[in-house]
Amino acid sequence: MVKWVIWFALMSAVVTYFVILQVVDSGEANSGGLKNPLYVAGLLSAIASLGAKHFVRSRSAKQGMVVSFADQAFIVALALAESSAIFGLVLGFQGAPMSDYLPLFAVSLVTFLMINPRTFFPELD
């Protein structure tokens, strides 16, 4: 249950970041040079998050029990998933249009859906 609460809290933070960008006027656009590096960083963060999930599941299957570091790996995976949205928040605060920062929020939310506690922690027989 605690894992679900943590997961939901961090996922709702991503939604909150997006709402903040809709409410706050970021002013003049000056995010020209940041867009591509932040896209790459956001995508790499999402891939690393999914990689942590795969590593925990495969290592647990090999050992026949959930590995001892699974909880820590889950927190790291959640932080990596959230970082994509934070990169979108940075773009939004730099004045980028929604079409520029929305993909980073989408990547973050999709990653969160893919690393929820039910799918992250293996159910071993």
Give the pLDDT confidence of 19-52 residue by residue, as tens digits: 999 998 766 767 678 889 999 999 999 999 999 9
Task: Tell whether the model's pLDDT for residue 125 goes beyond 70.
Answer: no
Taking all residues of the chain, what is their mean pLDDT, rounded to a whole number? 91
User: Quick check: 124 and 65 in contact, CB under 8 A?
Assistant: yes
Q: What is the CA radius of gyration of the chain?
A: 16
Confidence of residue 8 (pLDDT cuts 50, 70, 90): very high
- Of 25, 49, 29, 48, nearest in space to 100 by CA: 29
Question: For residue 124, what pLDDT is reported?
Answer: 55
